[in-house]
Amino acid sequence: MTGSSRAVGLVFGPALRMIARRLAPGEQITLLTAGRQRRGVLEGRATERTTWSRPGLRAFALTDRRLIGVGRNGVLELPLSAVRHARARRGALGSGRLELGLPQGTLVLDGLPAADAELLAEALEQGPPQGPLPAPRFQSSTVAGLIPGLLADVAMLLLGAAALALWFAVLHGVREDDIGDLGLVEALPIGALVALLGLGAGFALALVRDRLGIAVLYVVILVVALYGALVPIEEVTSFSVTWRHAGVADQIVRSGGVDPGIDAYFNWPGFFAALGLATEAAGARSALAFAAWAPVAANLLYLPPLAMIARSVGGDARLVPLTLWVFVLANWVGQDYLSPQAVDFGLFLVVLAVVLTWFGGPAGGRAARPRVARRLRETIAREPGAPARVPRGGRPAVLLVALAAALATVPSHQLTPFALLLVLAALVALGRTWLRGLPLLLTVAFLAWLVFMTVSYLSGNLEELWSQFGQLEQTLASNVGERVGGSHDHTLVVWARLVATAVLLLAALAGAVHRLRAGRRAWSIVVLLLAPFALPVVQPYGGEILLRVYLFALPGIAVLVASLWLAGAGTRPWRSGVVVLGLTLVLLGSFLVTRYGNARVWLFSHEEAAVVDRVYDVATPGSVLIAPSSTLPWQHRRYAELKHSNLSRLVVPPGGFGERALARAVLQLVEEKGGGDGYVITTRSTRAYDELFGTAAWGSVARLERALDASPSFLPIVSRRDGRVWVAAPDRGRQ
């Protein structure tokens, strides 16, 4: 036995044994090929098993009766009498493509080694051998190419690891003060850009070489690099809302229950209760312990359901890593911090992944509908669903998991169940799933939670919530118009977000049109893309609803943009690589500006955190803490015991406040909140907020500091470079 045949035995042993087991008595092999299928694209329908699309080691045996193929998806068997013609062509990315004419149509096996495809086509064209059989031939295109292929794989892995190490090494040198109004991008050293270029090149290379496992690994590296970018820079946990969320969890842990009267968070406490439980299990002093890497963890957990959603449309296996890549580069909205919406978005993806994988496809039953709607529905519903293997326990088992995930969104977040309901209802209405009961159950659970668990919140806020229903003009103004402003650089960031979002949406629509015109599955993804756009009708959601619409539409955007990307990449490896790398660099540049454009106000120094903490140490219960804006590291302790307010509540007189009037107005706010002492806090981040977003109607932070210094009603108790605190002393002012 030669070394070569030993290697063949080792590598292809299982596949060859499977072929041997299938041979009938007397059946003889005339040609045996074994190779690594770079990419499996099976077009046409030859057998029931049409999901022969996983790349990997594969062996074909041509016998005097049949063609037998063994691969990672199972076994393909075709009687020679069924093969009308066979042709070898140039396949995708320089591989071989075997086209078999069958009674049902043409079966295309793409991604084969070119030599294998030619040999098989030649042998099949000759038909069943006549007379004495020739000696069996063996062709292996893999053994010779195995070592260079392995070396290339190792090189790609090393490139990814080196790029990640370089990225974090150079970020360690970035200081918070280096970040200006354009955000993180202006503080990035050249080494960081080299690292990102390396990641883009590595991913493009992995995709071109059809090393899809390595491509997915690059996606993971990209998530760690991009979403962990602030970790080496931040001195303490960044983003003020994260501090508030830690405070809500802390309140639940300390009080041992929820008081729905505190605020909305305590009417949807599911996430915070679980976070409190995890904090206790970790023995941590605060839920902030989980905050730094939360965006990385969230985005890593989004990848599996997103991969399932991408796979549900079938076709080119490269669509999965490319969809994940697009998603990671396009998720700039920053809702993945330690928050209920971050976890609930993951559950949203899980439910849709299950529905599209096991319950997609034409729905039964036809209700009477207007003619046009009926035709549209029938067109959309006709498209077949994804063929997927049903796990042990059958569909009911996975349906239970999806149901649990859907119900878990209800007690944690106000908006996610709405979004999930919209998408599920649209999928049902358009015949893209036959799970009619799921949206119904979710509706019942959602209404039951509203009615029984949020009464105190709704009774106090129903009028305001109802007044926002259907106010599209107000929604557009608060979500877009009012956000375009602030410093020159910040205005650029806002425009970059608007342009990036519009371009991605247009690309997704083009991807949908391209898929549908090419006869590929797309309707379910189109529903995922468009259904969230009904959300703004409900409410402006604090001026953030368009951000959330984009987030909920992002799975659809990612699949369709990736699909268009693949179509544009063509079949030539170099062209494919250049297209992937070029678009990666464009999206990376856009991401760094759009995602981290506000980093200057997100980041807090040790000193400002210490200044704020000092107030929490000394404030008596019932005291009110007032800041110019909410962008400071506060609310993480004594959440319900102390009151928190910002100056946006001040009613500004025509002509604005003078310094004395401003101090009086702040004092009045303290007295209105009443019950204890009043503290006014200004920090480096609230000053940065002023500069970034523009001065508020009541005045600037600098003016506030001057007004408080000059007022006899406020005593400065802490004065540091990054933070100042005054305590209100109304009696002293009146003397």
Strand partners, 101: 85, 106
Nearest distance from residue 53's CB to other proteins, in Å? Answer: 13
Nearest distance from residue 142's CB to other proteins, in Å? Answer: 21
Cα-Cα-Cα-Cα torsion 315, 318, 320, 323, nearest 10 degrees, comes to -110
Give the three-class secondary structure for 643: strand
- Per DSSP, the chain holds a count of helices (H) and strands (E) of 26, 14
482 binds other proteins (CB under 8 A): no
Nearest distance from residue 54's CB to other proteins, in Å? Answer: 10
Q: Scanning the structure block, which residue is given the tokens 């500004």?
A: 652
Closest C-alpha among 431, 439, 423 to residue 554: 423
Question: Which region, left, alpha or beta, applies to residue 27 given φ > 0 means left and ψ of -120 to 50 means alpha?
Answer: beta
Site for other proteins in 390-419 (CB under 8 A): 391-393, 397-398, 401-402, 404-405, 407-408, 411-412
- Closer by beta carbon to other proteins, 524 or else 631: 524
Give the three-class secondary structure for 101: strand
Site for other proteins in 334-363 (CB under 8 A): 343, 346-347, 349-351, 353-354, 357
- Closer by beta carbon to other proteins, 393 or else 674: 393
725 binds other proteins (CB under 8 A): no
CB 117 within 8 A of CB 41: no
305 binds other proteins (CB under 8 A): yes
148 binds other proteins (CB under 8 A): no
CB 91 within 8 A of CB 97: yes
451 binds other proteins (CB under 8 A): no
Nearest distance from residue 302's CB to other proteins, in Å? Answer: 9
18 binds other proteins (CB under 8 A): no
Site for other proteins in 172-201 (CB under 8 A): none
Burial bucket for residue 382 (CB in 10 Å: 0-12, 13-18, 19+): exposed
Binding other proteins (rule: CB under 8 A), the pick from 135, 281, 372, 651 is: 281
Binding other proteins (rule: CB under 8 A), the pick from 96, 160, 180, 270 is: 270
Site for other proteins in 98-137 (CB under 8 A): none
Binding other proteins (rule: CB under 8 A), the pick from 23, 289, 652, 718 is: 289
Give the three-class secondary structure for 680: strand
Nearest distance from residue 162's CB to other proteins, in Å? Answer: 24
Residue 240 makes CB contacts below 8 A (sequence gap 6+) with: 602, 630, 631, 632, 633, 634, 635, 685
Nearest distance from residue 681's CB to other proteins, in Å? Answer: 28
Q: Which of 247-255, 428-436, 468-476, 505-513 is the region at the interface with other proteins (rule: CB under 8 A)?
A: 247-255
639 binds other proteins (CB under 8 A): no
Question: Which region, left, alpha or beta, applies to residue 729 given φ > 0 means left and ψ of -120 to 50 means alpha?
Answer: beta
Q: Which of 138-146, 270-278, 531-539, 640-648 is the region at the interface with other proteins (rule: CB under 8 A)?
A: 270-278
14 binds other proteins (CB under 8 A): no
Give the three-class secondary structure for 63: strand
Binding other proteins (rule: CB under 8 A), the pick from 82, 253, 534, 578 is: 253
228 binds other proteins (CB under 8 A): no
Residue 711 makes CB contacts below 8 A (sequence gap 6+) with: 660, 663, 664, 667, 733
- Closer by beta carbon to other proteins, 290 or else 596: 290
Nearest distance from residue 128's CB to other proteins, in Å? Answer: 37
Q: How far apart are the first and last CA of the chain?
A: 106
Determine the size of the site formed for other proteins (CB under 8 A): 52
For residues 41 and 94, what is the distance between their CA atoms, to the nearest angstrom?
14
Q: What is the 3-state secondary structure (H, E, C) of 265-288?
A: HHHCCHHHHHHHHHHHHHCCCCHH
- Closer by beta carbon to other proteins, 61 or else 230: 230
Site for other proteins in 27-56 (CB under 8 A): none
Binding other proteins (rule: CB under 8 A), the pick from 257, 542, 654, 655 is: 257
531 binds other proteins (CB under 8 A): no
Long-range CB contacts for residues 263-270, cutoff 8 Å, separation at least 24: 263/457, 264/414, 264/457, 264/461, 267/453, 267/454, 267/456, 267/457, 268/340, 268/411, 268/412, 268/413, 268/414, 268/449, 268/454, 269/411, 269/412, 270/340, 270/408, 270/410, 270/411, 270/412, 270/413
Q: Which of 110-118, 254-262, 325-333, 438-446 is the region at the interface with other proteins (rule: CB under 8 A)?
A: 254-262
Strands 643-646 and 624-627, by their bridges, are: parallel
Nearest distance from residue 388's CB to other proteins, in Å? Answer: 8
Binding site for other proteins (CB under 8 A): 252-253, 255-258, 269-271, 273-274, 276-278, 280-285, 289-290, 297, 301, 304-305, 307-308, 311, 343, 346-347, 349-351, 353-354, 357, 389, 391-393, 397-398, 401-402, 404-405, 407-408, 411-412
